Structure 1
Amino acid sequence: MTVLHQIDPVALSLGPLKVHWYGLMYLLGFVAAWLLGRSRVRAGRLPGVDEHGFSDLMFYAMLGVVLGGRIGYVLFYAFSEFLADPLMLVRVWEGGMSFHGGLLGVLAAVWWWSRRHRLHFMDTAEFIAPLVPPGLGFGRIGNYIGGELWGKPTGGDWGVVFPRALPPEYAGLDPATLRAQFEAGALDAFARHPSQLYQATLEGLVLFAVLWWFSRRPRPRHAVGGLFALLYGCFRFAVEFVREPDAQIGYLAFDWLTMGQVLSLPLIALGLAWLWLSRRAPTLQPQPPAPSADAAAPSRKPAP
């Protein structure tokens, strides 16, 4: 089955202000992380930290995602463009975010926050790990809605036709004409893998289900972080085989190795190393936060 992608990337227009679906997907990712994180705090998954401390952690983590994601994209995927036009770094509305850069930004934020609160870096990082996949899943859905980061041609009678990926002769066609061409079968040869949805399923749904289940019981230090790094690295490496490489970079080697795969290899190695270290690491036991003084005080009925 072949599908024509004709989704408006703008979710809401308020005069000159346009709210894009991609931005809403980021917001959904942060909301999901907030709700899931509060549940883990109440279960004592980060001993000594209450909801106020978690709010502080989330603030730094969100900064890390945005700043690290943008800086990582520029360094990994658009460095030559940055050298020619340094101001493109701040033009985030033009698009361009990197997961690997965002991950480095979050890890930096976690290190800073953990140091301030005198907690072990890995304990905080592994508390955060199960909260990340929903944001990854929503982000990839945002990529699909925006019709970007598409996959390679399927070479069969199925896939998604992305208008922005069509040859130049189709560039000026209006949506109605493009739909007519599609229904006539003229665009079937340009059907591509919806690699964004593959990633949303693997990096979002599957990774979340595995990490949430695995982290429900106390695990040795490094185990949850190792599983996150290993699974994400493997999922991303695999999907890159059917994802179109970035046009400004192309393949780095062998006519198949992409930048995404190169950046995923250290994650796979780190995941294996952490899982090995977890064999002799201590296990953090849940300690629900103590109730506040107001909550702990006994209620008093007014005198009759």
Structure 2
Amino acid sequence: MLRHPDIDPVAVQLGPLAIHWYGLMYLAGFAAAWYIGKMRCRQPWSPLKEDQLEDLIFYGALGVILGGRFGYVVFYNFEQFLADPLWLFRIWEGGMAFHGGFLGVVLAIAIYAKRIDVSIYALWDFIAPLVPIGLGLGRIGNFIGQELWGRPTDSAIGMLFPRDPSQLPRHPSQLYQFALEGVLLFLIVFLYTRKQRPRLAPGALFVLCYGIFRFIVEFFREPDGHIGFDALGWVTRGQLLSLPMIAVGLGVLIYAYRRDRVQG
């Protein structure tokens, strides 16, 4: 049996100001996106110039934060929002959802693409390999904060989380998500985009792979206590939200290659 190292979720305390590891992971994710973006700007088929990258990261950050919060409220706690609409704006109380953040980034990228007169599809393909590292680091933040832990298990990789009232060994599902949504997804999309690919294909590959990885990890992750399972006694909210990503990602990927063959 493994034991969580019980790291203090507050990385730095400056008087009344507490800087949490989770926030630092977000900053590190944006920094990684900037660094990879700088490299991608040098590719001959890049739709973006280096001096436009900072604005792209800014728009993306807004999409992640606003969309992530809105998605958490709508997808996971809509009843609480109806009872207390101002809760939507109390971000400091916690609550972010990837699927909402994803939609927020799509909208933010669309707005920025229109502003600089660039194809939204080209811009989405550009940012596809910039995202996974931030996702992975966010899961490390979840692990340090002892949130979103996994289901109970009696396997050798079961981990005790000091802040878990049940004190049952659980899957360290945050680390599974770090490995799949962060490391593996980055390697797949980054290596794939080292060459020019059909328009829409890189973005579609990201959406498809994330949907598959998230669907798999949900089998090990503890469902939200106030939601439980949504269907069949085993389907979680995260899986339901990932199914459209799998379908759309696969469909667009097939379309991208068929269109490329016709045009080629």
Q: Which of the five TM-score ranges fits, normalised by the shorter chain? A: over 0.9
Aligned to 1:140: 139
Letter in 2 for 1:16: P
Number of aligned residues: 261
Q: 2:204 aligns with which of 226, 242, 250?
A: 226
Aligned to 1:171: none
Aligned to 2:18: 18
- Aligned-residue offset at 1:82: 1.0
1:5/1:160 contact within 8 Å kept:
no
3-state SS of 2:234 partner: coil
Which segments of 5 or more consecutive residues in structure 2 lack a partner in the other structure? none
Aligned partners of 1:128 and 1:233: how far apart in 2? 17
Aligned to 1:94: 93
- Aligned-residue offset at 1:157: 4.6
- Aligned-residue offset at 1:268: 0.1
Structure-2 change in CA distance of 1:115 and 1:147 (3 Å): same
Aligned to 2:105: 106
Instruction: Map 1:242-253 onto structure 2 (within 5 A).
Output: 242-253=220-231
3-state SS of 1:18 partner: strand
1:72/1:102 contact within 8 Å kept:
yes
Q: 1:241 aligns with which of 216, 219, 232?
A: 219
- Aligned-residue offset at 1:25: 0.4
Larger relative contact order, structure 1 or 2 (CA cutoff 8 Å, min sep 6): 1
Aligned to 1:287: none
Instruction: Map 1:1-304 onto structure 2 (within 5 A).
Output: 1-47=1-47, 49-167=48-166, 190-282=168-260
Which segments of 5 or more consecutive residues in structure 1 lack a partner in the other structure? 168-186, 284-304
Letter in 2 for 1:128: I
Aligned partners of 1:45 and 1:73: how far apart in 2? 36
Aligned partners of 2:156 and 2:197: how far apart in 1? 46
1:221/1:281 contact within 8 Å kept:
no
Structure-2 change in CA distance of 1:4 and 1:37 (3 Å): closer
Identity %: 56
3-state SS of 1:33 partner: helix
Could you say which structure has the larger radius of gyration? Answer: 1
Structure 1: 4+ residue segments shifted above 4 A: none
Aligned partners of 1:243 and 1:62: how far apart in 2? 26
- Aligned-residue offset at 1:163: 2.6
1:5/1:147 contact within 8 Å kept:
no
Q: Which range is displaced more, 245-254 or 36-45?
A: 36-45
3-state SS of 2:218 partner: helix
1:130/1:208 contact within 8 Å kept:
yes
Structure-2 change in CA distance of 1:80 and 1:8 (3 Å): same
Aligned partners of 1:281 and 1:32: how far apart in 2? 32
Structure-2 change in CA distance of 1:92 and 1:219 (3 Å): same
RMSD: 1.4
Deviations 1:91-144 (A, max 9, x none): 111111010100101100111111222222111001001000000000000000
Deviations 1:225-264 (A, max 9, x none): 1111111000000000011001111100111111100000
3-state SS of 1:281 partner: helix
1:151/1:193 contact within 8 Å kept:
yes
> TM-score, normalized by length of structure 2?
0.95
